[in-house]
Amino acid sequence: MFTKLNRSRVFRDPLYGYISCEYKIIADLIDTKELQRLRRIRQLAGVGMVFQTAEHTRFTHSLGAYHMANLVIHNVDGMEKISEYEHVVFLISALLHDVGHGPYSHAFETTIDKSHEDITVSMILSPKTEIHNVLNIKEGLAEDVASVISHDGKFPLIEQLVSSQLDVDRMDYLSRDAYMTGATYGIIDYFRILRSMRIIDNKLVCKASGVHSIESYLMSRYHMYFQVYYHPVARSYEAVLESIYERIKDLSQKNYKFECNLTCFLNVINNNDDLESYLELDDAYVQGFIKQLEHSKDKTLSKLCSAILNRHLFKCIDLANEPEEAELEAIKNRFKDSDSKYFFKTVDAKGEAYKHSKKSDINDIKVLLPNGKIKSLDQYSPIIKSLVSSSYTEIHRIYYFED
Amino acid sequence: MFTKLNRSRVFRDPLYGYISCEYKIIADLIDTKELQRLRRIRQLAGVGMVFQTAEHTRFTHSLGAYHMANLVIHNVDGMEKISEYEHVVFLISALLHDVGHGPYSHAFETTIDKSHEDITVSMILSPKTEIHNVLNIKEGLAEDVASVISHDGKFPLIEQLVSSQLDVDRMDYLSRDAYMTGATYGIIDYFRILRSMRIIDNKLVCKASGVHSIESYLMSRYHMYFQVYYHPVARSYEAVLESIYERIKDLSQKNYKFECNLTCFLNVINNNDDLESYLELDDAYVQGFIKQLEHSKDKTLSKLCSAILNRHLFKCIDLANEPEEAELEAIKNRFKDSDSKYFFKTVDAKGEAYKHSKKSDINDIKVLLPNGKIKSLDQYSPIIKSLVSSSYTEIHRIYYFED
Amino acid sequence: MFTKLNRSRVFRDPLYGYISCEYKIIADLIDTKELQRLRRIRQLAGVGMVFQTAEHTRFTHSLGAYHMANLVIHNVDGMEKISEYEHVVFLISALLHDVGHGPYSHAFETTIDKSHEDITVSMILSPKTEIHNVLNIKEGLAEDVASVISHDGKFPLIEQLVSSQLDVDRMDYLSRDAYMTGATYGIIDYFRILRSMRIIDNKLVCKASGVHSIESYLMSRYHMYFQVYYHPVARSYEAVLESIYERIKDLSQKNYKFECNLTCFLNVINNNDDLESYLELDDAYVQGFIKQLEHSKDKTLSKLCSAILNRHLFKCIDLANEPEEAELEAIKNRFKDSDSKYFFKTVDAKGEAYKHSKKSDINDIKVLLPNGKIKSLDQYSPIIKSLVSSSYTEIHRIYYFED
Amino acid sequence: MFTKLNRSRVFRDPLYGYISCEYKIIADLIDTKELQRLRRIRQLAGVGMVFQTAEHTRFTHSLGAYHMANLVIHNVDGMEKISEYEHVVFLISALLHDVGHGPYSHAFETTIDKSHEDITVSMILSPKTEIHNVLNIKEGLAEDVASVISHDGKFPLIEQLVSSQLDVDRMDYLSRDAYMTGATYGIIDYFRILRSMRIIDNKLVCKASGVHSIESYLMSRYHMYFQVYYHPVARSYEAVLESIYERIKDLSQKNYKFECNLTCFLNVINNNDDLESYLELDDAYVQGFIKQLEHSKDKTLSKLCSAILNRHLFKCIDLANEPEEAELEAIKNRFKDSDSKYFFKTVDAKGEAYKHSKKSDINDIKVLLPNGKIKSLDQYSPIIKSLVSSSYTEIHRIYYFED
């Protein structure tokens, strides 16, 4: 149905040994400029300020997620009953799931008010992209992949495998980020997890005997969130970046004449469907304009850029440590006027070790008991229940600038 | 104060690279026959039936615990204020903490009704052992080391470091058992843990900023317990072994004439202070008599030995899986008469990821908050609290023989 | 043709993650008492005196060699053309190749003057062994496996894969011994090696583009020989052991009445076809009689046993370091009379990084050039040529006892 | 003498666990913009085209080389006799040794005809750089560090440790590149190497007993060269890049008006002392102009840029494979006219596993025999001798463009 390569194309990978492509369409997608662009966008953005060896990009992670999908196909009981067409849709969705990411994505999404998934879908459907042209060899394929990414329910199992509490995306990035940062608590036993999964009635379940490996995975995830992804300094870096993006947006709406060429960035901010401009954006683009705008005549902008370049980042107060009320009030008062809004941020986040989802069956991890019954993971495992219910996994912080 | 070697003695170790001894007394203790005997006693006993690569002995673990003590001395804030004498007491206690273990220790302790710690203390204090003679170079040293092992409160900090919820013993064995079995969830970030520890008022505390590494360690421990140490088959092996020990004990009290030489074993059972006999016991000794007693005229004994040798172990029913009451009753009824008590066992255990101890301050892990206050770990961390309070970490099983 | 298990039996392994058995016959062979006996015989014998963590047995290595054979079948180009029957013969041969090993095998083979391969063949063919009974389900199978082990040319490709310069035996043990000792130079990239192999005309060749991975493997092997297997102290231990075996043999021929039960050992020495006695021998058996014969009335024997037990091993002089002639002569003279022959040994060995074999095509590694021609590895690679021709890879040592 | 930080600054590193800075001057140097610029220059340049996970930068390697220097200071016998001043000069030299690298350095150095070491020296001595200002706190320090980098003989031991056959640079990059590419043959046992080194008469020697670890290191290096650094495709990428640089240089001399802003690049080409321009250059800069010059009106330039962007790289013929003479002639003839010189390149290189240096004592690795004599490594080790003398370690290739 899908053409296979004469000789499979092989990528060396320190986590898995080798990543192998057998389908021509996968190899062609890897070579598109949209996917190659991910080579210039780091996976961990601001986290690299703290964990300096985390220099890997979204490209290597995308290959990794593709490989994990391949492992699922070959190791999970029940996957053999799915059609080859769905296998390939799964592989492609895993490969492309992050292709819509912008540089320093977290701050970016806030500014353009559009998720990277939406942009991924645009790239897949737009007749102008190379990705689309590759997918076009088979009618309906682009639409089906887009449907998986946008979770619209046509392929519920694949949606679940690509993006849920326990998916090929997370299984690769937890392992990879741990390998790159040296954080041992991120190591997950993905082979054991795959062996405890099973497809029943087109849904993914986990056998009760393998729940421990899932618990271990969720704890890894929780620890990676708090130790790595939500590291106070990493988040401070992203908070400053967000302020820079906001200030640029605000100035552009006042027709400020920027001291450097920001055409593509402004195009995207003002019209987030301008894919051509979007594809020009990468880490170097952002680093480039920050360097130049350090000397902007706009004092706010120059101050923020300088904060990044000279590592004079925002200070962080963790509200969990119960700081003095008076002190907090004093800080908040300092940033009351509209010009200073860029220098003060409250950040609330949830560790997301696991979330029980009422509306969506797909998102829950289901446990298959020996007697054939099925339970939600958080009903089955008290540890996970405590992770879900506890405020402990929340973050409430204040970031502010201090001269 | 203690003589140092001209050139430190070095042991290669796959976990740490190298383990190094600088004190002559440590090198001398390693060469004693009591410690060398641990080369013949496997660390994981029956677990090796399931995880066949776990072939390491208590000897390599003892060196590892010593090395971990050395790492504590050189990396934990505040250890530099402890005297050299206490450092050496700590190193020796770590090295010797398991020297009293018998072969297949778990079953053994039940039978002789004496803990391995008690025997360790006897070996240290008895003038007949080589260990005692090495320690004797310094007056009071043997007594001080024994005092640490028996937790009598003279050196509370060292007691805590050698044996508590978070000690050099556990930090080595979790890492080592994980390395040997290939269980990735046992990997702990011991260096991060050491860096978050601090000695305050002669007590060990963990800085709040490092609590995540302790949580991660306790979760590792919990997973190792359920996935490895309490594996149903491994425990079945030990249940059969325990029955063999019991049956031998019961027969010996009836003056049964055994079909092979059991002198040392019987000496120990009948007089558990007979250290000389005790030192003859090792894994091979036990394997040896099991092989010979498979042909015993005592049917009970021969059946049990045969069960071990032919891997026809006890069946296991996990009560957590809510088996049918009627079925359970039927099984229990089968083993009612006194002769069949050897073929039916109930096993209750607690996963011990963490226990909050009311009586003992030493055993708790204390968390140092930024404001200088100190909390118990299970008050501070909801995840640990849920581990402590949950019945989920308990095991209730029935083991029984089926022809 | 061969029955498959309903659910494959899986062994966890820290090197490979999981080792999996699909054929019932493999699972049955693993459970035989002859293979289980290897759990009591350490892979590295005396090397464990120096690398104390090398506590793994021939059993785990045997499973590893089996697994490597499985990897060869599934990864080497051309293996898919071999019949299922030969696949299974290959898997079984890999699993059983070491089953004839005795305890502290090197010294043992010298004494009984029979190689472990010969004994393996006896075990396979003898109707009394459990192995034979398992193999017996298929006529001719036992004979075919024996034929592979004894290299009699019926299955040249399988012989080569099981025992040659580059075989599943070496690929597992180099990796495993490195993992267990922590010797990084033993790590080999076996997956890369498998990918560069190819079966042409029923012979194994290595593609020129993959020669570097073979060179790297051979250098690993060379370094493991000199750093680990031929470590002076490890070899001293085995030299003493060999003397003990010799002395026992000599005494038994003079009808000496030994101070402990040596029946099985003497049976084997005097009639090396006594398989039943042979199967009783293991590491613990040897350690046991050494401990008892330390108190033998025969002074030579007691001195040798005491040398082992108190680590007062033979001294070693490496002739490569050009010791003084006079000194050497003096030492040799000390051990001239017949009674002292047990206390002086010359040891010559070849590192065997690679040997070019004139008589046997099977043993050579062949390189396939891009133009289709085939060369011997040592003709193709100057580095290997220098390894083959150099005296550097030889060992010439004198071991002697000094009071 | 040098100020120490109150609390050492710690960098997490997956190879070493933690990299720690105790001296304030080291922390200050790390924060300079010249060193931070290395975060934007990948260590392996074109090799990343083949080994896509090799995304690490010269920055993380620089920290690693610094750490390795710290390990040398604390582990090599004799280093304790060197003064603290020299220790710090060593640490700084290790940290800064690569600071002069340009983007895609290999091609770059050819074009500007200046080595990165020269530029490093300029940066250290120029009063305009932040590095210089940090070093300036101590008179003569900048000059002394520059002296080490330029190998002018004032600190022969430190020169040797920073840059020779066996130096902190290579020890870090071999390990790191292996970790990042997943190439197991690059793993070196650096701890064992450090333990076999010794400083005698202010020179580095290696004890004969440790020569095997050095051999193993040199073989690793040799394999990394041929398998990774000289990979045909990686080198093809760099050959194209070199042609782009050349073409730009040639065009600029004819006052060609480029289609994009190349000011800094041209400044550097025409005046390679323009440090300010030099510091603007990084990987993104080069990638940026290649993307824009794909549409250049100069056909040669646009064709070359397109070759990079569309992975239509030069073909490679390895002369070692003895291609047909006629075919070679035909290819050469195609590229005879001056315009086509950019599309044909001969590449000769030496694997450099080890070179014996006649003029320089510093560069040789010396072996200390047990009798106190000293030999060159290639005299002592036949394997190394064969590496040095063999043409096997040479590369002779032709790269050419084919439409």
Whether residues C184 and D185 touch (CB distance < 8 A) is answered with no
Residue D105 has pLDDT above 60, yes or no: yes
- Which amino acid would we find at residue D301? L
Contacting residues for B220 by C-beta, under 8 A, at least 6 apart: B174, B178, B185, B186, B187, B188
- Mean pLDDT of the region D246-256: 94
Q: Nearest C-alpha of chain C: how many angstroms from D72?
A: 19
pLDDT of residue D387: 74
pLDDT of residue C356: 57
- Mean pLDDT of the region D131-158: 96
| Closest-CA residue to C36 (of C75, C72, C62) | C62
The pLDDT tens digits for D114-124 are 889 999 999 99
Is the model more confident about D49 or about D398? D398
Maximum separation of any 2 CA atoms in chain D, in Å: 71
Residue whose tokens read 């000695």:
B199
pLDDT of residue D391: 60
Q: Quick check: C349 and C331 in contact, CB under 8 A?
A: no
**3 state SS of D62:** helix
Whole-number CA gyration radius for chain B: 22
Whether residues A189 and B183 touch (CB distance < 8 A) is answered with yes
Give the span between the Cα atoms of C364 and C375, in whole angstroms: 10
Residue D167 has pLDDT above 90, yes or no: yes
> In this complex, which chains have at least 3 CB pairs below 8 Å with chain D?
A, B, C
Q: Is the torsion defined by CA of D345, D349, D351, D352 positive or negative?
A: negative
Spell out the per-residue pLDDT of chain A, length 403, in tens. Answer: 899 998 889 899 999 888 999 999 999 999 999 999 999 999 998 898 889 999 999 999 999 999 999 999 998 999 999 999 999 999 999 999 999 999 988 888 888 878 899 999 999 999 999 999 999 999 999 999 999 999 999 999 999 999 988 899 999 999 999 999 988 777 888 888 998 999 998 899 999 888 888 988 888 888 898 889 999 999 999 999 999 999 999 999 999 999 999 999 999 988 767 899 999 899 989 988 998 999 999 999 999 999 998 888 999 998 877 788 898 999 999 998 877 899 999 988 776 556 655 545 556 789 998 888 899 888 888 778 877 776 667 889 999 998 8
Please give the mean pLDDT across all residues of chain D. Answer: 90
Q: Nearest C-alpha of chain D: how many angstroms from A49?
A: 10
Residue D403 tokens, joined: 């439409």
Count the Cβ atoms, other than its own, within 10 Å of residue A375: 17
CA B183 and chain centroid, separation: 18
Q: Does A181 contact chain B (CB < 8 Å)? A: no
pLDDT of residue D220: 87
pTM assigned to the model? 0.89
Q: Nearest C-alpha of chain A: how many angstroms from B235?
A: 16
Which residues 7-36 in chain B show a CB within 8 A of chain D?
17-18
Q: What angle do CA A124, A128, A131 make, to 5 degrees?
A: 40
Which pLDDT band, with edges at 50, 70 and 90, does B384 fall under?
confident
pLDDT of residue A272: 66
Which pLDDT band, with edges at 50, 70 and 90, does D390 fall under?
low
Is the model more confident about B112 or about D232? D232
Instruction: Report the run of H or E that residue D204 belongs to, with start and end.
Output: strand D203-207
| Closest-CA residue to A112 (of A305, A293, A242, A258) | A242
Name which of C214, C219, C327, C387 to mutate to probe chain D: the one with the most chain D Cβ atoms within 10 A of its Cβ: C219
The mean-pLDDT minimum among B26-35, B47-56, C266-275, D328-337 falls in: C266-275
Q: Does B216 contact chain A (CB < 8 Å)? A: yes
Tell me whether residue A403 is exposed, middle or buried, using C-beta atoms within 10 angstroms of its C-beta: 0 to 12, 13 to 18, 19 or more.
exposed
Whether residues B189 and A189 touch (CB distance < 8 A) is answered with no
Count helices and strands in chain A by DSSP H and E runs: 20, 9
- Tally of residues, chain A: 403
pLDDT of residue B223: 86
Q: Quick check: C284 and C304 in contact, CB under 8 A?
A: no
Whether residues B382 and A369 touch (CB distance < 8 A) is answered with no
Half-sphere exposure of B313 (CA within 13 A, CB side): 20
Tell which phi-psi region holds residue C214, choosing left (phi > 0), alpha (psi between -120 and 50) or beta: alpha
Residue C150 tokens, joined: 């004894």
Q: Nearest C-alpha of chain C: how many angstroms from A189?
A: 9
Residue B70 has pLDDT above 60, yes or no: yes
Residue B363 has pLDDT above 90, yes or no: no
**Residues of chain D found within 8 Å of residue C322, distances taken between Cβ atoms:** 371
Whether residues B53 and C60 touch (CB distance < 8 A) is answered with yes
Query: Bridge partners of A399?
Result: A316, A345
Q: What angle do CA B22, B28, B34 make, to 5 degrees?
A: 135
Q: Quick check: D21 and D27 in contact, CB under 8 A?
A: yes
Which pLDDT band, with edges at 50, 70 and 90, does B403 fall under?
confident
- Mean pLDDT of the region C308-327: 87
Q: Does C390 contact chain D (CB < 8 Å)? A: yes
The mean-pLDDT minimum among A380-384, B263-267, C176-180 falls in: A380-384
Count the Cβ atoms, other than its own, within 10 Å of residue A76: 19
The pLDDT tens digits for A69-120 are 999 999 899 999 999 999 999 999 999 999 999 998 888 888 887 889 999 9
Tell me whether residue A321 is exposed, middle or buried, using C-beta atoms within 10 angstroms of its C-beta: 0 to 12, 13 to 18, 19 or more.
exposed
Q: Nearest C-alpha of chain D: how many angstroms from C317?
A: 12
Residue B6 has pLDDT above 90, yes or no: no
pLDDT of residue A352: 59
Q: Does D65 contact chain A (CB < 8 Å)? A: no
Half-sphere exposure of C286 (CA within 13 A, CB side): 25
The mean-pLDDT minimum among B193-197, B368-372, C117-121, D263-267 falls in: B368-372
Give the span between the Cα atoms of B98 and B41, in whole angstroms: 11
Give the span between the Cα atoms of C307 and B385, in whole angstroms: 55
Count the Cβ atoms, other than its own, within 10 Å of residue D2: 17
Residue A93 tokens, joined: 């969705």
Which pLDDT band, with edges at 50, 70 and 90, does B286 fall under?
very high
Q: Which residue blocks in B13-57 are alpha helix, DSSP H?
A: 24-30, 33-36
pLDDT of residue D97: 96
Domains of chain B (ranges; CATH) run 4-230 (1.10.3210.10)
What ipTM was assigned to the predicted interfaces of this complex? Answer: 0.89
pLDDT of residue B27: 96
The mean-pLDDT minimum among B204-218, B300-314, B381-395 falls in: B381-395
Which residues 226-285 in chain B show a CB within 8 A of chain A?
226-227
Residue D231 has pLDDT above 80, yes or no: yes
User: Roughly what angle, to the nearest 10 degrees, separates helices A263-270 and A283-293?
Assistant: 110
The pLDDT tens digits for B315-351 are 999 887 778 889 899 999 999 887 789 999 998 877 6
Residue B234 has pLDDT above 70, yes or no: yes
**Residues of chain B found within 8 Å of residue C13, distances taken between Cβ atoms:** 53, 182
Read off the DSSP letter of residue A398.
Answer: E
What are the φ and ψ backbone dihedral angles of A399, each rounded to 5 degrees?
-115, 135
The pLDDT tens digits for C186-237 are 788 888 899 899 999 889 999 988 888 898 888 888 889 888 999 999 999 9
pLDDT of residue C386: 76
> In this complex, which chains have at least 3 CB pairs below 8 Å with chain B?
A, C, D
Whether residues D182 and A31 touch (CB distance < 8 A) is answered with no
- Which amino acid would we find at residue B275? L
Q: Closest-CA residue in chain B for C184?
A: B14
Give the span between the Cα atoms of D116 and D136, in whole angstroms: 22
The pLDDT tens digits for C353-403 are 566 555 455 567 899 988 888 998 888 887 788 777 766 678 899 999 988
Q: Closest-CA residue in chain C for A7?
A: C77
Query: Bridge partners of B346?
Result: B398
Give the span between the Cα atoms of A96 and A120, in whole angstroms: 8
Whether residues D55 and A55 touch (CB distance < 8 A) is answered with yes
Whether residues D189 and C212 touch (CB distance < 8 A) is answered with no
| Closest-CA residue to B343 (of B240, B251, B235, B250) | B240
Give the span between the Cα atoms of C114 and C110, in whole angstroms: 7
Count helices and strands in chain C by DSSP H and E runs: 20, 9
pLDDT of residue D384: 83
Is the model more confident about C92 or about D192? C92
Is the model more confident about D21 or about C210? D21
- Mean pLDDT of the region B131-153: 96
Residue C256 has pLDDT above 60, yes or no: yes
Residue whose tokens read 């890897």:
A30
pLDDT of residue D354: 62
pLDDT of residue B310: 84
Please give the mean pLDDT across all residues of chain B. Answer: 90
Q: Does A369 contact chain B (CB < 8 Å)? A: yes
